[in-house]
Amino acid sequence: MANQANKLVIRQSCFNWGTKTYLMGILNVTPDSFSDGGEFNTIASALAQVRAMIAAGADIIDIGGQSTRPGAQQVTLTEEMERVLSVIKVIRPEVTIPISIDTTRASVAQAAVQLGADMVNDISGGTYDPEMLSTVASLDVPIVLMHIRGTPQTMQEYTQYQDVMGEIYDFLSEQINTAITLGIKREKIIIDPGIGFAKNHQQNLQIIRELSRLKSLEVPILVGPSRKSFIGQILNQPNAKDRVWGTAAACCAAIFHGADILRVHDVSAIRDVSLVADAIYKCS
């Protein structure tokens, strides 16, 4: 982390990388997300969930209108816009913490930021929409670049790697360089190895085990293991909502191996995990 910009200010929040683990609370305003589809796709339920996550200790709220579960079908641009913009419009005046827009479409990112979103979370690492990186550069907001192969519909067909972490590293390194070339400041780039996206059970475990390999890219690392199927496989737990303690274990391991941000559904539980893990691993 020697050359990594060690802090980032987003809205009124200062993120001091390496000193603590930050929590990104997930708000899916979709009918078909894998663990909470349909729960928060009314304005009232979305707002109540945001308030609950902030009270529980969320540092960022990540709003998505397109399910990215394996096999998910892409929604139309109009539908995605309607889902996320109506929610951002209501939530922005209510909250002071940063709002992230989870999208792969530059036009959605632009509209969301104009309505008050503070950063972009792109599961394609800026590869699906050729306008995304230049749009984010012109908006001058942070972006999360995630590793994926294929699309959510096809990604589970692309789990063959010679060296999974090496290939994730190379992809993210290339996307960081492309983003910087297009005008995004290095200190506004965050990376995500993409647990569960074109990765099998063993590869997901390996990503957490070898997460520190990404540290030499000198940007903050976000990890999203929350409720995912690899945890369900280990626990023999088909119900995603009952994977909270497995998620807690994965998050603790991710913190040990260098995660800066955890993207989670169960903010209250993982807040306790991160506070204790930080006291052990991040406080000298």
Active centre residues (catalytic): 228, 263
E strands, the chain, in order: 7-10, 13-16, 22-28, 60-64, 99-102, 119-122, 143-146, 189-192, 222-223, 261-264
Distance CA 279, CA 252 (A): 11
Name the token pair of 68: 């990215």
User: How far are the Cα atoms of 10, 23, 51, 123 from residue 7, in angstroms, in the given order?
Assistant: 10, 16, 26, 23
Instruction: Give SS3 for 107.
Output: helix
Pairing status of strand 7-10 against strand 13-16: antiparallel
CA–centroid distance for 64 within its chain: 10
CB 111 within 8 Å of CB 85: yes
